Amino acid sequence: MILSGRAGLAGIVGWPVSHSRSPKLHGYWLRHHRVDGAYVPLPIRPEAFAQGLRMLAAFGFRGVNVTLPHKEAALAACDEADDQARRLGAVNTIVMRDGRLEGSNTDAFGFLENLVQGAPAWRARAAPAVVVGAGGAARAVVAALLDAAVPEIRLVNRTRSRAEMVAQELDGPLQIFDWADRTRALSQAGLLVNATSLGMVGQPPLDLDLSDLPRAAVVNDIVYTPLQTPLLAQAAKRGNGVVDGLGMLLHQARPGFEAWFGVEPEVTDELRRFVMSD
């Protein structure tokens, strides 16, 4: 690690933040590109969040990533926010410049970059996409698919009213399916995305019969612990192309790293192995 008196500083703000893989991820890029800088975990309580951000800017930080539970509060705390952050109501990346806080949201970018890297033959305009989930992550997934011009997005969530809220806020060709009808939503789809927390370590698997899903469809799980979720195992077994969720985390981090440290980093297999190692 290079750390001179001119070292650039960035980090991740959350509460708690000890589980975050972002310090490891950015630490890898800093070493790989021999950058004079550091990226550190910054546990900040919700009540101290806005003031904490201002102090980091005053201390000369170049910016931060923002994780749970602060993403919505970060939008309110920033002096300006890009279109995607305003559309999603959440900020995950802040650039600090001359004491000002510039917020952006790179989750949709990370989702789409991962999908395109993992399934290069997938064509957005070719067929409907099914998104399961209606939380913060699902919003970013839906926004990315709308921007990619997917002709129809079928949104399925256990709590229908949350899916309706997403459809209302992200205007586009969205169709809502009841949880009980989720298998029917798969017919003629070209993409299935799990954006719920189901399948994550400690959670039950996503209970979804894939019989109606075309074999040519790509299945993407944004859960990445474990890398191969029960959904991806089931999909791979029947011949669907599968994309795991780790790349979304890695790609969403690229714009922040470039803004803070001036180098455009890459997502490689070596990085994937490093971030998932203990």
Ligand X SMILES: NC(=O)c1ccc[n+]([C@@H]2O[C@H](COP(=O)([O-])OP(=O)(O)OC[C@H]3O[C@@H](n4cnc5c(N)ncnc54)[C@H](OP(=O)(O)O)[C@@H]3O)[C@@H](O)[C@H]2O)c1
Where in the sequence numbering do the catalytic residues fall?
71
Q: Is 14 in the site for ligand X (CB under 6 A)?
A: no
Q: Please give the residues from 62 up to 101 whose contact with ligand X meets the rule CB under 6 A.
A: none
Round to whole Å and give the CA distance between 270 and 39.
20
Q: Is 198 in the site for ligand X (CB under 6 A)?
A: yes
- In the bound complex, what is the minimum distance in angstroms from residue 75's beta carbon to ligand X? 15
- In the bound complex, what is the minimum distance in angstroms from residue 58's beta carbon to ligand X? 30
Residue (12 or 195) nearer to ligand X, CB: 195
Q: Please give the residues from 209 up to 228 whose contact with ligand X meets the rule CB under 6 A.
A: 222-224
| Beta carbons of 92 and 252 less than 8 angstroms apart | yes
From 232, 248, 259, 271, residue interacting with ligand X (rule: CB under 6 A): 248
Q: Is 144 in the site for ligand X (CB under 6 A)?
A: no
Q: What is the dihedral of CA 17, 22, 26, 28, to 10 degrees?
A: 110
| Beta carbons of 242 and 215 less than 8 angstroms apart | no
From 196, 220, 229, 240, residue interacting with ligand X (rule: CB under 6 A): 196
Residue (210 or 223) nearer to ligand X, CB: 223
Residue (105 or 157) nearer to ligand X, CB: 157
From 51, 117, 159, 268, residue interacting with ligand X (rule: CB under 6 A): 159
The distance between the two most distant Cα atoms of the chain, rounded to a whole number of Å, is 60
Q: Quickly list H helices, the chain.
A: 22-32, 49-58, 71-77, 83-88, 107-118, 136-147, 160-169, 230-237, 246-252, 254-261, 269-276
Report which residue type is found at 110.
Answer: G
Residue (9 or 163) nearer to ligand X, CB: 163
Query: What string marks each residue from 103 to 142 as x (binds ligand X by CB under 6 A) or -?
Result: ------------------------------xxxxxx----
From 249, 259, 271, 275, residue interacting with ligand X (rule: CB under 6 A): 249
Residue (191 or 222) nearer to ligand X, CB: 222
- In the bound complex, what is the minimum distance in angstroms from residue 110's beta carbon to ligand X? 6
- In the bound complex, what is the minimum distance in angstroms from residue 48's beta carbon to ligand X? 22
| Beta carbons of 92 and 107 less than 8 angstroms apart | yes
Burial of 272 (0-12, 13-18, 19+ CB in 10 A): middle
Q: 1: Cβ–Cβ under 8 A, 6 or more apart, which residues?
A: 27, 30, 31, 38
- In the bound complex, what is the minimum distance in angstroms from residue 241's beta carbon to ligand X? 18
Of residues 39, 46, 34, the one with CA closest to residue 77? 46
Residue (86 or 160) nearer to ligand X, CB: 160
| Beta carbons of 75 and 86 less than 8 angstroms apart | yes
Which spans of this chain sit near ligand X (rule: CB under 6 A)? 133-138, 157-159, 162, 195-198, 200, 222-224, 245, 248-249, 252
